[in-house]
Structure 1
Amino acid sequence: MRPARLLLVGSVLADVRMAVPSLPERGGDRLATRTDVQTGGGFNVLVAAVRNGLPAALAGRHGVGPFGARVRQDLDAAGIPVLLDPDPDTDTGFSLTLIEPDGERTFVTSPGAESMLTGARLAGVSARPDDAVYVSGYELCYPDSGPAIAGWLDGLPEEALLVFDPGPVADEIPADLLAAVLARTGLLTLNRRETALLAGAGDPAGAVRALAARLPARARIVLRRGSRASVAAEADRPDRLVRVPVPAVVALDTTGAGDAHTGVLVAALGAGYDWPEALRRAGVGAAISVTRYGSATAPTAADIDAFEVAAGN
């Protein structure tokens, strides 16, 4: 588990973000107190990795309209190459994100070019043995992308680390695709809601046991639990739980916190940190990210170091 590159196979899209005093009731309305448009989705994971010293690349589609132009601009500025040509007929999709005062976010996603990843388009993408390959549940829900990605993963080098985040749509992933991806996953990361949806158990010990039964013996599981200590385990030793405390911070915006955690974790493994230390750095990275307003708010490795010095660690 020492990847040299993060290869994201899936979606980067635009985030249309609105801060609201509360979610509207059905049929109601709310006035946003703040609105902006940023690049999000898989971009958050890629940027987190790059800011922590791990090169990254996107093996996904994007479009040619205003959202696609924004995506290309931000990927280029971050030094993240795009391995596939843009779709000449479709714009990149967008996610409408409603952010409440406590930082909680709610999404509605309108898919675009990023959802049209076919087997033919993926055929020219080759993963390296030392890649960490990131896939999210969103891609598996798309009629084109889901089967294409699952088929492409069959040819993944055995040494490559498959990182899978089921995301908010965990319960909408077709059962056959979910089973196929879990059977190849080396690192499964999910939040509390996703844990309950996939494991059918709320307590970490029960959830880890349920998830471990669906994973290869060498896989590792990370349960992200917001402000509570995260829990990690190895699939072949599900009763040995590692609890990693999360720094106490005041959350401004939790958008992308899980992405920051994953990107920092993979980058820390690539930098040679052992598993417990990589998990700890990922927790610090996610905590810093929620104190910042925006999507791709993961800190740099230097930010994490400075935070730890200030905290006396």
Structure 2
Amino acid sequence: MLSRISERLVELKEAHDDEPQHAVISLGHIWVDIMMDVNGIPKAGGFAVSDHTNASVGGSYRVLQAAARMGVPTRHAGVVGTGPWATIVREALDGSGIEHIGQDRLDTDSGFRLVLADEDRRKTYIATYGAEAQGDATTFDCVEPAAGDVVHISGNTLMDHTAAGVDEFMHRAGTDPAGRDFTIVLNPTNTLSLVNDHLLEDLVLARPIWSCNRQEANTLADRLGIFRDDEASLTVGGGFDRSMAELCQALGETLRAPPVVRAGSRGAWVRTPGGEVVHVDGYPTKATHTRSAGAPHTGTLCAMLARGWSLTDAVRIANAAASLAIQRSVNGVPNCPDYETAIALVDANDDSTTASGGDRS
């Protein structure tokens, strides 16, 4: 059962006023996204017109930006290059109060991606990898989490040379979450199917918190050989909820670690080791954005864990932050709110549920 958020805020403030602030540290890649609305994706040798173009910093920056807005110290441990794209990355990090503790490359620029969105909002990606993808086994030697810190690992770091650094960090972190005094949150991408078996095994053995959307969760289940009933109905409010709960349950049992399986405005399903699957309600909102709200959700989740919230409560606040981020999107990019605004939405919903005779759960 979840306590009222306002009551929990008082408890946490009293408990942690004299403690140092815990940080969110990301091992992810950061690059520049150039988003272009086009009248159609051209065929080879063809031509397309863009009526709107916008450049923004993407990758794990969006996770760290969300965590910073939740009021926790944030650190980027990835590689940043030297050049025009890297300059944009560094200015964004500085502007959001995110400390870069990772390596600097003087011989190459950071990467960028073209994101082409057609009239049906289908997106096509063209990536140019840069310094962020040119790490090695020593890349994350700089990461020494303090007690209470949260380490974020993104799937975009698992596909290139920098993956060796992630693997070395996972070996240092060990295979017993109870023996670590920090938390690892891993959010895979849709390219999880391409991660090599050895690295995936090391990630699973480390038993992090896995934060996935439904597609990523299904890809992970496929890699782990988990059977699902593909004939189950996926209607919202019926078979969909049951299917999500079963997927979360199966992942939790196989991973022996907590999975968080997101489903947009439907919220998320959470299972702690040995526990039952809990559905944490979402906050319906009009989808006016063109990018996923997964980064604001993951960043808020990490920040709330760093602030001492339970996993289920952290997911609830992350659901609210993701919904608000969509409402406040700028040029198609979800824009995460600050800590007080996210808490206010959760608390208002809690008051509404209580007034209507609902259960605070």
User: Which structure would you say has the larger Rg?
Assistant: 2
Q: Which whole-Å deviations, capped at 9, do the CAs of 1:255-284 have from their partners, x for residues lacking one? A: 251110011112122333333322111111
Shift of residue 213, structure 1, vs aligned partner: 4.1
Matched, 1:222 2:260: yes
The reply to whether residue 253 of structure 1 matches residue 271 of structure 2 is no
Deviations 1:41-80 (A, max 9, x none): 0000001001001111011101111110000011011111
Shift of 1:128: 2.2
Task: Compute the displacement of 1:104 (Å).
Answer: 6.4
Residue 136 to residue 69, structure 1, CA distance change in 2 (3 Å): same
CA distance in 1, matches of 2:309, 2:141: 33
Indicate whether 1:134 and 2:139 are aligned.
no
Mean Cα displacement is larger for which, 93-102 or 39-48? 93-102
Q: Which runs of 5+ in 2 are unaligned?
A: 1-15, 175-179, 223-227, 231-242, 353-361
Match for residue 275 of structure 1 among 311, 314, 327:
311
The residue that corresponds to 1:49 in the other structure is: 67
The TM-score normalised by the length of structure 2 is 0.77
Q: Does 1:234 align with 2:256?
A: no
1:120 and 2:148 are equivalent in the alignment: no
Where in structure 2 are the equivalents of 1:34-183 lying within 5 Å? 34-99=52-117, 105-142=123-160, 144-156=161-173, 158-183=180-205
- The one-letter code matched in structure 2 to 1:151 is E
User: Counterpart of 1:74 in structure 2: which amino acid?
Assistant: A
Task: Check whether the contact 2:326–2:334 (CA below 8 A) recurs between aligned residues.
Answer: no
User: 2:238 — aligned with what?
Assistant: none
What is the distance in 2 between the residues matched to 1:147 and 1:14?
A: 23
SS in 2 for 1:70: helix
Residue 93 of structure 1 deviates from its aligned partner by 0.7
For 2:250 and 2:125, the matched residues in 1 are separated by 28
| Residue from 196, 205, 213 that aligns with 2:245 | 205
Aligned residues: 306
Consecutive unaligned residues of structure 1, counting only runs of 5 or more, are: none
Question: Which of 8, 13, 18 is the aligned partner of 2:36?
Answer: 18
Secondary structure of 1:227's counterpart equals: helix
TM-score, normalised by the number of residues in structure 1: 0.88
Summarize the Cα distance change of 1:97–1:81 in structure 2 as closer, same or farther, 3 Å threshold: same
The letter for the 2-side match of 1:47 is Q
Identity of aligned residues (%): 27
Q: Deviations over 1:146-176 (max 9, x none)?
A: 1221112211272221111111211111121
Structure with the larger helix share = 2
Query: Whole-Å Cα distance in 2 between the matches of residues 121 and 305 of structure 1?
Result: 36
| Residues 147, 70 of structure 1: alpha-carbon distance in 2 compared, 3 angstrom cutoff | same
Letter in 2 for 1:156: A
Judge conservation of contact 2:269–2:277 (CA < 8 Å) in 1.
Answer: yes
